Chains A and B, each alone.
Chain A
């Protein structure tokens, strides 16, 4: 069974731009979660989608948003990028309580 895939794998943006990241979950998984990983803060929960609805949300500003499509694929968007948004963005898919992570998208904001 194919794992979680994320595109693109690497991105370089400048401050003020916006970015959209994509995640394809494991076949049959309907829950998709997003996390931000930085050296200082570690892994932090952004939000979780299930059947196209946001079910859980972390403590991030409204510049961070997401959505899920009917085929369970998900996108997250970050608007008005700041230098501090440089991070590894990880997507995880779940069928029950366990989450399986993709390889991540490494975003660098200059």
Chain B
């Protein structure tokens, strides 16, 4: 079983839709949770960062972490064509290992005008 599982999609939605992206993980030692967005031929761009359980909102983006279920989510409201990209979840442990990120495989999202 991989440490982090992410549905690769692809996911295609109309402009203005609410998008839900999810990852599950098996390692209970993970404490830091991140979502990155990667456009084609570019490096990943940090979108959201959360420590431990809870919700975090930033504009149209909301990240949720449920450590009891080992489940994290990213919601995108009022999705735009410019949101079309691959979304990667990532997580790390605390302490000296917190710089070693474990990534999901990524979900390819297309938002159609």
Contacts and interface: CB of A to CB of B under 8 A. Distances in A.
Size band of the interface chain A makes with B: 20 to 34
A75 interface: no
Interface stretch (A12-20, A62-70, A77-85, A91-99): A91-99
Interface residue tally on B, bucketed by range: 20 to 34
Nearest to B32: A97
A42 B43 contact: no
Contact of B43 (A31, A48, A102): A102
Contacts, number: 60
A42 B104 contact: yes
B63 interface: no
Given A48-B99, A98-B34, A42 B44 contact: no
A87 interface: no
A68 B92 CA distance: 22
B105 interface: yes
Contact of A101 (B44, B51, B98): B44
A21 B49 CA distance: 28
Contact of B92 (A35, A44, A97, A104): A97
Given A56-B96, A97-B51, A103 B103 contact: no
B46 A100 contact: yes
B41 to A, nearest CB: 8
Contacts of B101: 33, 35, 43, 45, 92, 99
B100 A48 contact: yes
A99 B46 CA distance: 8
Interface of A: 4, 31, 33, 35, 42-45, 48, 50, 55-56, 58, 90, 92, 94, 97-104
Interface of B: 32, 34, 36, 42-46, 49, 51, 88, 90, 92, 96-106
5 contacts: A43-B101, A56-B100, A99-B34, A101-B45, A103-B42
